[in-house]
Chains A and B, each alone.
Chain A
Amino acid sequence: MELKRSLTSGAAGRLLVTVIMLALAIVMVIPFLWMISTSLKTPAEVFKYPIEWIPSHPTWAHHHKVWTGPKSFGTYYLNSLKISIIGMLGATFLSAFAAYGFARIEFKGRNALFMIYLSMMMVPPQVLFVPKFIMFEWAGIYNTHLALILPGLFTIFGVFMLRQFFLSIPHEISESAFLDGAGHFRIFFRLVLPLAKPALATLAIIDFSWQWNDYENALVFLIDEKLYTVPLGLQNFILENTVDYNGMMAAASAGILPMIAVFVIGQRFIIQGLTNSAVKG
């Protein structure tokens, strides 16, 4: 789809449009640039106008403060990594398992069950907060990492996404395996899972980013500061340092950089996964 002659005729037109779009893209990422720049400034330079994009007296002191001291981001990182990685692995595996059942096995009640899954996607998390709070209190896992890890093992979106993918695998593949005497388990582990590697990677990356960025659940289910995840630790740091703007921005950088790294590495998977589930789902 190109409107060649009209918009971008020749190299000059292409260059012009590129420059305009790049300028707008820079406006989009200005908050990040300003954040990094401010985290390296001295307090007096924070609100200087015109903005000093490159600090005249760059200092790492604010970053140092975020990472050392009694409330170091190290703890928050370890907590977040633990919760996100366990959640990601569990959610990906359990979704694949269920998606196989929904896509490749015919049994009574399957469609009704799938409708229940569908309807649960409509229920806003706010409906579930209070009952989950009561249930977790009762089970003794409120204010422990289990309160985030256990629900994190299940993602309805993941079941949908992988079901969609499994449906697209030709039936001939499993039929010939059946004739060779293989059962569903062998077909799942030996045939379908290896074929689904890209889809599994996509779900894993998207799920990881959700778990890493999850602020609302952590806010409701954790109180102990040493259990805090990165979003909650960040909030805590900023509430305690409301006048230390440089420190705030250093902390914000610490909160964002891992996701930017994940994005740079997994961009292809993330974009593919989101477009597939939106366009075909």
Chain B
Amino acid sequence: MYNNWMRRQRLLGYVFIGPSMLGVLVFFLIPAVYSFGLMFTNYKFMSPNVDFVGMDNIVRMLHDDLFYLSLRNTVIFLLAVPVSIALGFVVAVILNQKIYLKKLLRGLYFMPYITSGVAVAFVWMLLFQPKQGPINGFLRSVGIEHPPGWLSTTTSSMYAIDIIWVWFLLGYNMIIYLAALQEVSSELLEAAKIDGARPTQILRKIIWPLVSPTTFLLLITGLIMTIKTFGIIQATTQGGPGNSTTILSLYVYQNAFRYYEMGYAATISWALFAIILLITLLQWLGQKRWVHY
């Protein structure tokens, strides 16, 4: 009787999860395994000769200057994450005060995040236009004679992308912080105030530690999400000028669908996975040290 019931439960479990599991199997799990296999082949699109090449792709990657450049550019791209977290925190703390138009303000700061996409990339391209663009127009009008070339020079392009990315992420970080700030107990803050703590002390010694789990979560998810992105760069600079904005995720795309080096692309994509795995592991290991629950 009981066994029968258990069997029925199990069957029903599979019935409920089944459709979704099929999708995960076909569109995630099998492709992932497939891709892992491709890493050890020289598969090129349209070419009939597919050979097992062992570690060749990995060796090639480790000697590929462009791989290291993409890695470096990826790291610069990731700088946008902590910056947008810091700004998001400041905006959230202020919007959490008694001020007017809260809802409107929250909506305005959040707007870039929802309109993600190619459209904003093109708007920024024109705003950043080095000779005539409005940003440099403004900089010249305040007395900066040689404003940066933004997306047009190899030294500034990655940082220009960072600015777009900070702008994009800020609203999301702010929203999550606002939710976290609601949880901070007002009694605790009252007590601190009665004890004579200054606002900056309250902010640094009480609020910041209390929202540290949120900070940590935003950092991890922000890094992982950013590392997977390349649309914004593909739309604005296609990785240029030179290869100054080629980040790893874009380098995978280029190898696969521009040069049709699909085996090699698979290899780099697993390097990307390794970085994400590393970030996730650091999360598990480090959590207890710097997060105060």
Physical interaction between A and B? yes
Name B210's closest neighbour in chain A (CB-CB).
A1
Is B12 located at the chain interface by the 8 A CB criterion?
yes
Instruction: Say whether, besides A1-B184, A274-B175, A34 and B269 are in contact (CB < 8 Å).
Output: no
Is A177 located at the chain interface by the 8 A CB criterion?
no
CB distance from A5 to the nearest CB of B (A): 8
Is B266 located at the chain interface by the 8 A CB criterion?
yes
- In the complex, the answer to whether A51 meets B137 with C-beta atoms within 8 Å is yes
A102–B32 alpha-carbon span in the complex (Å): 23
Is A78 located at the chain interface by the 8 A CB criterion?
no
Which residues from B are CB-within-8-Å of A8? 97-99
Is B58 located at the chain interface by the 8 A CB criterion?
no
User: Interface residues of A, CB < 8 Å — how many?
Assistant: 100
CB distance from A27 to the nearest CB of B (A): 9
Instruction: Say whether, besides A14-B98, A28-B170, A124-B269, A129 and B13 are in contact (CB < 8 Å).
Output: no
Instruction: Say whether, besides A6-B199, A22-B101, A105-B16, A256 and B269 are in contact (CB < 8 Å).
Output: no
Name A24's closest neighbour in chain B (CB-CB).
B91
Is A75 located at the chain interface by the 8 A CB criterion?
no
A154–B29 alpha-carbon span in the complex (Å): 13
- In the complex, the answer to whether A215 meets B117 with C-beta atoms within 8 Å is yes
- In the complex, the answer to whether A17 meets B21 with C-beta atoms within 8 Å is no
Is A106 located at the chain interface by the 8 A CB criterion?
yes
- In the complex, the answer to whether A132 meets B27 with C-beta atoms within 8 Å is yes
A233–B110 alpha-carbon span in the complex (Å): 25
CB distance from B128 to the nearest CB of A (A): 10
CB distance from A104 to the nearest CB of B (A): 8
Instruction: Say whether, besides A2-B97, A17-B94, A34-B123, A255 and B118 are in contact (CB < 8 Å).
Output: yes
Is B80 located at the chain interface by the 8 A CB criterion?
no
Which of these, A14, A248, A255, contacts B100 with CB under 8 Å?
A: A14
List A2-57 residues whose CB lies under 8 Å from chain B: 2-8, 14-15, 17-18, 21-22, 24-26, 28-29, 31-32, 34-35, 38, 46-47, 49-51
Is A59 located at the chain interface by the 8 A CB criterion?
no
Which residues from A are CB-within-8-Å of B227? 124
Which residues from A are CB-within-8-Å of B99? 8, 14, 17-18, 21
Instruction: Say whether, besides A31-B127, A219-B234, A278-B217, A184 and B16 are in contact (CB < 8 Å).
Output: yes
A125–B228 alpha-carbon span in the complex (Å): 7
- In the complex, the answer to whether A215 meets B118 with C-beta atoms within 8 Å is yes
- Could you pull out 15 A-B pairs where Cβ atoms are within 8 angstroms? A1-B186, A2-B189, A25-B105, A25-B108, A28-B112, A31-B120, A31-B127, A49-B134, A116-B24, A128-B32, A131-B32, A234-B122, A252-B119, A256-B120, A259-B117
Binding site for A on B (CB under 8 A): 6, 9-10, 12-17, 19-21, 23-24, 27-32, 34-35, 38, 91, 94-101, 105-112, 114-120, 122-124, 126-127, 129, 132-134, 137-138, 140-141, 167, 170-172, 175-176, 178-182, 184, 186, 189, 193, 198-199, 202-203, 207, 214, 217-218, 221, 224, 227-228, 230-231, 234-235, 249, 252-253, 256-257, 262, 265-266, 268-270, 272-273, 276-277, 280
